[in-house]
């Protein structure tokens, strides 16, 4: 298993829309759950900074995640471009193996 972690700084006026898109039942999770190798999305909000969020996606393996990204590249890019307007910054924290 792997966990894919992202960090976001959200535009103040876009917080509600960001949550709708990145929550466990949001746009991203709906896209990911098409693949049986995806085992859930968690959205976390920083307790000290309400505009800072992180997401954690659990996948069977790096190969399964990469294969999903390749198969759904067009839709992934479309959703990513639409959601890009909601954030001041985003960065991949890392892809971690679950022991």
Q: What is the pLDDT of residues 23-40, one digit of tens each?
A: 999 999 999 999 999 999
Domain map (residue ranges) of the chain: 2-97
> How far is residue 7 CA from its own chain's centroid?
9
- Give mean pLDDT, residues 74-96: 97
% of residues, the chain, pLDDT over 90: 99
3-class secondary structure, 25: coil
Distances (CA, A) of 91 to 14, 29, 35, 36, 37: 18, 18, 23, 25, 23
List the CATH code of the domain at 2-97.
3.30.70.100
Percentage of the residues of the chain whose pLDDT score is greater than 70:
100
Please give the C-alpha separations between residue 25 and each of 1, 63, 70, 96, in angstroms, as whole numbers.
21, 24, 22, 22
**Does pLDDT of 99 surpass 90?**
no
SS3 (DSSP) at 4: strand
Question: Using a CB cutoff of 8 Å and minimum separation of 24, what contacts does 39-43 make?
Answer: 39/1, 43/19
- Rounded to the nearest integer, the mean pLDDT of the chain is 97
């Amino acid at each position: 298993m792997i966990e894919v972690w992202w960090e976001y700084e959200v535009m103040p006026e876009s917080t509600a829309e960001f949550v709708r898109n990145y929550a466990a039942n949001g746009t991203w999770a709906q896209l990911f759950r098409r693949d049986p190798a995806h085992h859930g999305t968690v959205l976390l909000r920083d307790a000290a900074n309400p505009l800072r969020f992180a997401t954690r996606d659990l996948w069977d393996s790096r190969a399964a995640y990469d294969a999903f990204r390749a198969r759904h590249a067009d839709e992934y890019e479309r959703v990513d471009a639409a959601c890009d307007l909601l954030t001041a910054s985003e960065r991949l924290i890392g892809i971690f193996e679950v022991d």
